[in-house]
Amino acid sequence: MDKQTNDPLRNEVESAQFLGIKPTTLQVWRSTKRYPLAFVKVGRLVRYRQSALDAFVQLRTQGIAQ
């Protein structure tokens, strides 16, 4: 299997659901560059790689210092 098969592209609705936010929030973040969440433009369509979503969550995960 190649990397792209293991790293699917998600649309805005799927990505927003994964993050627990509204698709319009993703649109605002993209236009204001509020967060460095990588995305892929395919014509007018916007897609997010699952690995980018996972990394975004990981970078924002707060925990107890060891």
Predicted local distance difference test score (pLDDT) of residue 18? 98
The DSSP-derived string for the chain is --HHHHS-EE-HHHHHHHHTS-HHHHHHHHHHT-S----EEETTEEEEEHHHHHHHHHHT------
Task: Tokens 């805005």: give the residue.
Answer: 12
The pTM is what? 0.83
CA-nearest of 44, 39, 42, 43 to 14 is 39
Residues 16-66 have pLDDT tens digits of: 999 999 999 999 999 999 999 999 999 999 999 999 999 999 999 998 665
